[in-house]
Amino acid sequence: MALKWTKKTPRSTQRKYHILFWLVYFTFNVIRWGSYFDDYWYSLKSNLVEFPLHIIIVYFNLYYLLPKFILTKKHKQYIFYIFISLGVLYIVRTGLNYLLVTKDILPEAESVQKAFTFNHIVAVVLGELYVLALVTAIKLTVDWVYERRKAESFQKIQLETELKFLKTQIQPHFFFNTLNNLYALTIEKSDKAPEVVLKLSEIMEYILYEAKGKKISLYNEIKYVQNYIDLEKLRYGDRVKVDLSIQGNVENVQVPPLLFLPFIENCFKHGTKDNNYLNVFIYFEKTTDKLLTFSVVNNYNQFTNKVKNHGIGNKNIKRRLELLFKDKFTLEIKGGKQNYSVNLMIPLE
Protein backbone atom coordinates (compact mmCIF):
# COMPACT_ATOMS: atom_id res chain seq x y z
CA MET A 1 0.00 0.00 0.00
CA ALA A 2 1.48 3.32 -1.07
CA LEU A 3 1.50 6.07 1.52
CA LYS A 4 -0.21 9.26 0.44
CA TRP A 5 0.33 12.67 2.00
CA THR A 6 -3.14 13.56 3.15
CA LYS A 7 -3.88 17.15 3.97
CA LYS A 8 -7.36 16.35 5.18
CA THR A 9 -7.89 13.30 7.34
CA PRO A 10 -10.25 12.92 10.28
CA ARG A 11 -7.40 13.36 12.78
CA SER A 12 -5.03 15.73 11.00
CA THR A 13 -7.77 18.26 10.30
CA GLN A 14 -9.14 18.41 13.82
CA ARG A 15 -7.57 21.38 15.51
CA LYS A 16 -8.04 20.01 18.97
CA TYR A 17 -5.46 17.28 18.36
CA HIS A 18 -2.95 19.83 17.13
CA ILE A 19 -3.61 22.16 20.04
CA LEU A 20 -3.38 19.29 22.52
CA PHE A 21 -0.07 18.11 21.04
CA TRP A 22 1.56 21.54 21.17
CA LEU A 23 0.28 22.20 24.70
CA VAL A 24 1.70 18.89 25.93
CA TYR A 25 4.97 19.42 24.10
CA PHE A 26 5.26 23.02 25.38
CA THR A 27 4.57 21.98 28.98
CA PHE A 28 7.10 19.16 28.74
CA ASN A 29 9.76 21.52 27.36
CA VAL A 30 9.15 24.17 30.02
CA ILE A 31 9.47 21.62 32.82
CA ARG A 32 12.46 19.91 31.20
CA TRP A 33 14.57 23.05 30.67
CA GLY A 34 13.31 24.68 33.85
CA SER A 35 14.60 21.69 35.78
CA TYR A 36 17.85 21.71 33.80
CA PHE A 37 18.58 25.41 34.53
CA ASP A 38 16.74 25.42 37.85
CA ASP A 39 15.01 28.50 36.45
CA TYR A 40 11.43 27.86 35.37
CA TRP A 41 10.74 31.54 34.64
CA TYR A 42 13.56 31.64 32.11
CA SER A 43 12.38 28.35 30.59
CA LEU A 44 8.83 29.67 30.25
CA LYS A 45 9.95 32.91 28.55
CA SER A 46 12.33 31.20 26.13
CA ASN A 47 9.73 28.61 25.14
CA LEU A 48 7.10 31.30 24.63
CA VAL A 49 9.47 32.90 22.14
CA GLU A 50 10.61 29.71 20.43
CA PHE A 51 7.41 27.65 20.19
CA PRO A 52 5.58 29.96 17.73
CA LEU A 53 8.64 29.64 15.50
CA HIS A 54 8.60 25.85 15.93
CA ILE A 55 4.96 25.75 14.89
CA ILE A 56 5.51 27.97 11.84
CA ILE A 57 8.41 25.98 10.41
CA VAL A 58 6.78 22.64 11.24
CA TYR A 59 3.57 23.42 9.35
CA PHE A 60 5.49 25.08 6.53
CA ASN A 61 7.45 21.85 6.18
CA LEU A 62 4.45 19.52 6.54
CA TYR A 63 1.98 21.24 4.26
CA TYR A 64 4.19 22.97 1.72
CA LEU A 65 7.76 21.70 1.45
CA LEU A 66 7.08 17.98 1.79
CA PRO A 67 4.12 17.79 -0.64
CA LYS A 68 5.76 20.13 -3.14
CA PHE A 69 9.28 18.67 -3.20
CA ILE A 70 9.53 15.28 -1.44
CA LEU A 71 6.42 13.71 -2.97
CA THR A 72 7.49 14.98 -6.39
CA LYS A 73 11.02 13.62 -5.81
CA LYS A 74 12.67 17.04 -5.93
CA HIS A 75 15.02 16.27 -3.06
CA LYS A 76 17.70 18.86 -3.82
CA GLN A 77 15.14 21.66 -3.89
CA TYR A 78 13.70 20.40 -0.61
CA ILE A 79 17.11 20.43 1.10
CA PHE A 80 17.78 23.92 -0.24
CA TYR A 81 14.49 25.37 1.02
CA ILE A 82 14.64 23.62 4.39
CA PHE A 83 18.07 25.11 5.09
CA ILE A 84 16.89 28.54 3.93
CA SER A 85 13.96 28.19 6.33
CA LEU A 86 16.26 27.13 9.16
CA GLY A 87 18.53 30.10 8.42
CA VAL A 88 15.65 32.56 8.60
CA LEU A 89 14.36 30.91 11.77
CA TYR A 90 17.83 31.09 13.35
CA ILE A 91 18.09 34.82 12.75
CA VAL A 92 14.57 35.55 14.05
CA ARG A 93 14.88 33.26 17.06
CA THR A 94 18.29 34.59 18.08
CA GLY A 95 17.12 38.17 17.79
CA LEU A 96 13.93 37.63 19.78
CA ASN A 97 15.74 35.71 22.50
CA TYR A 98 18.37 38.44 22.79
CA LEU A 99 15.76 41.22 22.97
CA LEU A 100 13.06 39.54 25.07
CA VAL A 101 14.66 36.80 27.14
CA THR A 102 18.37 36.93 27.86
CA LYS A 103 21.65 38.36 26.61
CA ASP A 104 23.24 34.96 27.21
CA ILE A 105 22.23 33.31 23.95
CA LEU A 106 23.39 29.81 24.90
CA PRO A 107 23.18 29.45 28.70
CA GLU A 108 23.63 25.68 28.64
CA ALA A 109 27.17 26.09 27.26
CA GLU A 110 30.07 25.99 29.72
CA SER A 111 31.45 29.29 28.46
CA VAL A 112 29.78 32.44 27.15
CA GLN A 113 28.75 32.01 23.51
CA LYS A 114 28.15 34.65 20.87
CA ALA A 115 25.46 34.74 18.22
CA PHE A 116 26.25 33.60 14.67
CA THR A 117 29.14 31.42 15.79
CA PHE A 118 29.46 27.86 14.50
CA ASN A 119 28.59 26.22 17.83
CA HIS A 120 25.52 28.37 18.33
CA ILE A 121 24.26 27.84 14.79
CA VAL A 122 24.72 24.05 15.06
CA ALA A 123 22.97 23.92 18.44
CA VAL A 124 19.93 25.87 17.21
CA VAL A 125 19.68 24.04 13.86
CA LEU A 126 19.98 20.59 15.47
CA GLY A 127 17.31 21.49 17.99
CA GLU A 128 15.00 22.63 15.21
CA LEU A 129 15.68 19.55 13.11
CA TYR A 130 14.75 17.45 16.15
CA VAL A 131 11.36 19.18 16.34
CA LEU A 132 10.82 18.81 12.59
CA ALA A 133 11.72 15.12 12.65
CA LEU A 134 9.49 14.38 15.64
CA VAL A 135 6.40 16.07 14.26
CA THR A 136 6.96 14.72 10.73
CA ALA A 137 7.25 11.18 12.11
CA ILE A 138 3.96 11.64 13.97
CA LYS A 139 2.30 13.02 10.84
CA LEU A 140 3.55 10.15 8.67
CA THR A 141 2.41 7.58 11.22
CA VAL A 142 -1.07 9.10 11.49
CA ASP A 143 -1.43 9.28 7.71
CA TRP A 144 -0.19 5.71 7.29
CA VAL A 145 -2.72 4.41 9.82
CA TYR A 146 -5.50 6.44 8.19
CA GLU A 147 -4.64 5.24 4.67
CA ARG A 148 -4.40 1.65 5.85
CA ARG A 149 -7.80 1.82 7.53
CA LYS A 150 -9.28 3.46 4.45
CA ALA A 151 -7.81 0.75 2.21
CA GLU A 152 -9.14 -1.98 4.52
CA SER A 153 -12.55 -0.33 4.57
CA PHE A 154 -12.57 -0.07 0.78
CA GLN A 155 -11.51 -3.70 0.45
CA LYS A 156 -14.25 -4.75 2.87
CA ILE A 157 -16.84 -2.86 0.80
CA GLN A 158 -15.55 -4.55 -2.35
CA LEU A 159 -15.78 -7.99 -0.77
CA GLU A 160 -19.27 -7.33 0.58
CA THR A 161 -20.38 -6.12 -2.86
CA GLU A 162 -18.97 -9.23 -4.50
CA LEU A 163 -20.64 -11.43 -1.89
CA LYS A 164 -23.99 -9.77 -2.54
CA PHE A 165 -23.52 -10.23 -6.27
CA LEU A 166 -22.66 -13.91 -5.88
CA LYS A 167 -25.65 -14.45 -3.62
CA THR A 168 -28.05 -12.72 -6.00
CA GLN A 169 -26.83 -14.94 -8.84
CA ILE A 170 -28.38 -17.91 -7.04
CA GLN A 171 -31.86 -16.42 -6.82
CA PRO A 172 -32.69 -15.82 -10.52
CA HIS A 173 -31.26 -19.23 -11.37
CA PHE A 174 -33.44 -20.91 -8.74
CA PHE A 175 -36.63 -19.04 -9.67
CA PHE A 176 -36.08 -19.77 -13.34
CA ASN A 177 -35.90 -23.50 -12.64
CA THR A 178 -38.92 -23.42 -10.32
CA LEU A 179 -41.07 -21.46 -12.77
CA ASN A 180 -40.16 -23.98 -15.45
CA ASN A 181 -41.36 -26.72 -13.12
CA LEU A 182 -44.59 -24.83 -12.47
CA TYR A 183 -45.09 -24.26 -16.18
CA ALA A 184 -44.73 -27.98 -16.87
CA LEU A 185 -47.31 -28.80 -14.19
CA THR A 186 -49.82 -26.25 -15.51
CA ILE A 187 -49.42 -27.63 -19.03
CA GLU A 188 -50.27 -31.05 -17.63
CA LYS A 189 -53.13 -29.47 -15.63
CA SER A 190 -51.68 -31.15 -12.58
CA ASP A 191 -53.36 -30.85 -9.19
CA LYS A 192 -49.88 -30.26 -7.80
CA ALA A 193 -49.63 -26.76 -9.31
CA PRO A 194 -51.29 -24.96 -6.32
CA GLU A 195 -48.94 -26.71 -3.91
CA VAL A 196 -45.97 -25.58 -6.01
CA VAL A 197 -47.21 -22.01 -5.88
CA LEU A 198 -47.52 -22.23 -2.10
CA LYS A 199 -44.01 -23.66 -1.69
CA LEU A 200 -42.62 -21.06 -4.07
CA SER A 201 -44.24 -18.23 -2.11
CA GLU A 202 -42.61 -19.51 1.10
CA ILE A 203 -39.24 -19.61 -0.60
CA MET A 204 -39.71 -16.10 -2.01
CA GLU A 205 -40.56 -14.82 1.45
CA TYR A 206 -37.38 -16.39 2.79
CA ILE A 207 -35.18 -14.89 0.09
CA LEU A 208 -36.76 -11.44 0.11
CA TYR A 209 -36.94 -10.94 3.86
CA GLU A 210 -34.88 -13.45 5.84
CA ALA A 211 -31.86 -14.06 3.61
CA LYS A 212 -30.82 -10.41 3.33
CA GLY A 213 -28.58 -10.50 6.40
CA LYS A 214 -25.04 -11.82 6.70
CA LYS A 215 -26.17 -14.75 8.85
CA ILE A 216 -29.31 -16.82 9.15
CA SER A 217 -30.20 -19.62 11.50
CA LEU A 218 -29.26 -23.06 10.18
CA TYR A 219 -32.77 -24.24 11.06
CA ASN A 220 -34.31 -21.71 8.64
CA GLU A 221 -31.74 -22.56 6.00
CA ILE A 222 -32.60 -26.26 6.27
CA LYS A 223 -36.29 -25.41 6.11
CA TYR A 224 -35.59 -23.47 2.92
CA VAL A 225 -33.70 -26.46 1.48
CA GLN A 226 -36.59 -28.74 2.43
CA ASN A 227 -39.04 -26.50 0.57
CA TYR A 228 -36.86 -26.74 -2.50
CA ILE A 229 -36.73 -30.54 -2.18
CA ASP A 230 -40.51 -30.66 -1.83
CA LEU A 231 -40.83 -28.70 -5.06
CA GLU A 232 -38.59 -31.12 -6.88
CA LYS A 233 -40.49 -34.08 -5.47
CA LEU A 234 -43.70 -32.56 -6.81
CA ARG A 235 -42.06 -32.41 -10.20
CA TYR A 236 -40.43 -35.83 -10.34
CA GLY A 237 -42.72 -37.78 -8.04
CA ASP A 238 -41.58 -41.28 -7.14
CA ARG A 239 -38.41 -40.88 -9.21
CA VAL A 240 -36.86 -38.88 -6.34
CA LYS A 241 -35.91 -40.13 -2.90
CA VAL A 242 -34.24 -37.74 -0.45
CA ASP A 243 -32.82 -38.54 2.98
CA LEU A 244 -31.98 -35.49 5.10
CA SER A 245 -30.13 -36.10 8.38
CA ILE A 246 -29.16 -33.62 11.12
CA GLN A 247 -26.71 -34.46 13.89
CA GLY A 248 -25.87 -32.33 16.93
CA ASN A 249 -27.60 -29.32 18.44
CA VAL A 250 -28.13 -26.86 15.57
CA GLU A 251 -30.73 -24.73 17.32
CA ASN A 252 -28.44 -21.69 17.74
CA VAL A 253 -26.17 -22.25 14.73
CA GLN A 254 -25.86 -19.27 12.38
CA VAL A 255 -24.66 -19.65 8.77
CA PRO A 256 -24.45 -17.43 5.67
CA PRO A 257 -27.76 -17.61 3.79
CA LEU A 258 -28.20 -19.54 0.55
CA LEU A 259 -24.92 -21.38 1.06
CA PHE A 260 -25.96 -25.01 0.57
CA LEU A 261 -28.70 -24.86 -2.03
CA PRO A 262 -26.47 -24.67 -5.16
CA PHE A 263 -24.99 -28.08 -4.33
CA ILE A 264 -28.46 -29.56 -3.85
CA GLU A 265 -29.73 -27.92 -7.03
CA ASN A 266 -26.94 -29.65 -8.92
CA CYS A 267 -28.14 -33.01 -7.60
CA PHE A 268 -31.48 -32.53 -9.32
CA LYS A 269 -30.13 -30.77 -12.36
CA HIS A 270 -27.61 -33.46 -13.29
CA GLY A 271 -28.75 -36.46 -11.27
CA THR A 272 -32.10 -36.67 -13.06
CA LYS A 273 -30.64 -36.60 -16.57
CA ASP A 274 -31.28 -39.92 -18.24
CA ASN A 275 -31.85 -41.55 -14.84
CA ASN A 276 -35.00 -43.41 -13.93
CA TYR A 277 -34.56 -42.46 -10.30
CA LEU A 278 -32.57 -40.09 -8.11
CA ASN A 279 -31.32 -40.83 -4.61
CA VAL A 280 -30.03 -37.90 -2.60
CA PHE A 281 -28.48 -38.07 0.86
CA ILE A 282 -28.04 -34.75 2.72
CA TYR A 283 -26.20 -34.58 6.02
CA PHE A 284 -25.65 -31.71 8.50
CA GLU A 285 -23.60 -32.10 11.66
CA LYS A 286 -22.42 -29.66 14.29
CA THR A 287 -19.16 -31.08 15.62
CA THR A 288 -17.69 -30.52 19.07
CA ASP A 289 -14.85 -28.37 17.74
CA LYS A 290 -17.24 -25.66 16.53
CA LEU A 291 -17.35 -26.83 12.94
CA LEU A 292 -20.34 -27.47 10.76
CA THR A 293 -20.13 -30.38 8.34
CA PHE A 294 -22.36 -30.52 5.29
CA SER A 295 -22.44 -33.45 2.89
CA VAL A 296 -24.59 -34.28 -0.10
CA VAL A 297 -24.37 -37.43 -2.20
CA ASN A 298 -26.44 -38.30 -5.26
CA ASN A 299 -26.39 -40.96 -7.91
CA TYR A 300 -25.72 -39.96 -11.49
CA ASN A 301 -24.69 -41.45 -14.80
CA GLN A 302 -21.15 -40.37 -15.59
CA PHE A 303 -21.59 -41.24 -19.29
CA THR A 304 -24.54 -38.91 -19.80
CA ASN A 305 -23.57 -36.15 -17.32
CA LYS A 306 -20.29 -34.80 -18.60
CA VAL A 307 -20.55 -31.40 -16.94
CA LYS A 308 -17.33 -29.97 -15.59
CA ASN A 309 -17.45 -29.46 -11.82
CA HIS A 310 -21.01 -30.81 -11.87
CA GLY A 311 -22.73 -27.47 -12.48
CA ILE A 312 -22.06 -23.75 -12.80
CA GLY A 313 -23.02 -23.11 -9.17
CA ASN A 314 -19.83 -24.63 -7.79
CA LYS A 315 -17.61 -21.83 -9.08
CA ASN A 316 -19.94 -19.33 -7.48
CA ILE A 317 -20.05 -21.11 -4.14
CA LYS A 318 -16.27 -21.61 -4.00
CA ARG A 319 -15.74 -17.90 -4.41
CA ARG A 320 -18.31 -17.15 -1.72
CA LEU A 321 -16.59 -19.56 0.67
CA GLU A 322 -13.23 -17.90 0.04
CA LEU A 323 -14.67 -14.47 0.77
CA LEU A 324 -16.56 -15.61 3.84
CA PHE A 325 -14.04 -17.92 5.50
CA LYS A 326 -10.70 -17.31 3.69
CA ASP A 327 -8.70 -20.52 4.26
CA LYS A 328 -10.73 -21.76 7.24
CA PHE A 329 -13.00 -24.07 5.27
CA THR A 330 -12.56 -27.34 3.43
CA LEU A 331 -14.47 -28.33 0.32
CA GLU A 332 -14.17 -31.70 -1.40
CA ILE A 333 -16.08 -32.52 -4.55
CA LYS A 334 -15.77 -36.06 -5.88
CA GLY A 335 -17.32 -37.83 -8.83
CA GLY A 336 -17.34 -41.60 -9.06
CA LYS A 337 -18.82 -43.99 -11.54
CA GLN A 338 -22.30 -43.82 -10.10
CA ASN A 339 -22.22 -41.27 -7.24
CA TYR A 340 -21.33 -37.63 -6.90
CA SER A 341 -20.47 -36.22 -3.47
CA VAL A 342 -19.80 -32.86 -1.87
CA ASN A 343 -18.24 -32.49 1.57
CA LEU A 344 -17.99 -29.07 3.13
CA MET A 345 -16.73 -28.00 6.56
CA ILE A 346 -17.07 -24.39 7.73
CA PRO A 347 -16.27 -22.69 11.06
CA LEU A 348 -19.20 -21.57 13.14
CA GLU A 349 -17.33 -18.62 14.64
Which tens digits make up the pLDDT trace of 126-145?
A: 989 999 999 999 988 988 88
Burial code (b: 16+ CB inside 10 Å, e: under 16) for 32-56 equals ebbeeeeeeebbbbbbebbbebbbe
Which segment of 16-30, 31-45, 151-165 scores lowest on mean pLDDT? 151-165
Are 139 and 215 contained in the same domain? no
Which segment of 50-54, 298-302, 311-315, 330-334 scores lowest on mean pLDDT? 311-315
| Residue 22 forms part of a structural domain | yes
Interatomic CA distance for residues 200 and 135, integer angstroms: 64
Are 112 and 194 contained in the same domain? no
| Residue 184 forms part of a structural domain | no
- Residue 271 burial by Cβ neighbours in a 10 Å radius (0-12, 13-18, 19+): buried
**In the predicted model, is pLDDT for residue 274 greater than 70?**
no
Are 131 and 252 contained in the same domain? no
Q: Which CATH number does the domain housing residue 273 bear? A: 3.30.565.10
Instruction: Supply φ then ψ for residue 301, to 5 degrees.
Output: -100, 110
pLDDT at site 105: 64
**In the predicted model, is pLDDT for residue 311 greater than 50?**
no
| Residue 100 forms part of a structural domain | yes
| Residue 142 forms part of a structural domain | yes
First to last CA, the chain: 29
Average pLDDT over residues 198-222: 81
pLDDT at site 17: 86
Are 269 and 138 contained in the same domain? no
Domain stop point among 152, 169, 198 = 152
Are 234 and 320 contained in the same domain? yes
Average pLDDT over residues 209-222: 83
pLDDT tens figures, 223-266: 888 988 888 887 777 888 999 999 988 888 899 888 888 888 88
* Sequence letter at residue 145: V
**In the predicted model, is pLDDT for residue 12 greater than 50?**
no
Average pLDDT over residues 314-338: 84
| Residue 60 forms part of a structural domain | yes
Whether this prediction's pTM lies above 0.95 is answered by: no
Domain stop point among 125, 152, 179 = 152
**In the predicted model, is pLDDT for residue 283 greater than 90?**
yes
**In the predicted model, is pLDDT for residue 2 greater than 70?**
no
pLDDT tens figures, 173-201: 667 767 777 787 788 777 777 888 888 88
| Residue 179 forms part of a structural domain | no
Domain that residue 55 falls in: 15-152
The sign of the CA dihedral 324, 329, 335, 339 is: negative
- For residue 82, what pLDDT band results from cuts at 50, 70 and 90? very high
Are 114 and 199 contained in the same domain? no
Are 24 and 145 contained in the same domain? yes
Domain stop point among 92, 122, 152 = 152
Greatest mean pLDDT among 102-111, 148-157, 317-326 lies in 317-326
| Alpha-helix residue ranges (DSSP H) falling in 237-347 | 261-271, 313-325
Are 237 and 284 contained in the same domain? yes
| Residue 173 forms part of a structural domain | no
Are 196 and 335 contained in the same domain? yes
| Residue 171 forms part of a structural domain | no
**In the predicted model, is pLDDT for residue 60 greater than 90?**
yes
Number of domains the chain is built from? 2
pLDDT at site 27: 94
CA dihedral 311, 344, 298, 269 (to 10 degrees): -20
More confident residue, 135 or 306: 135
Are 258 and 145 contained in the same domain? no
Are 144 and 36 contained in the same domain? yes
Are 340 and 205 contained in the same domain? yes
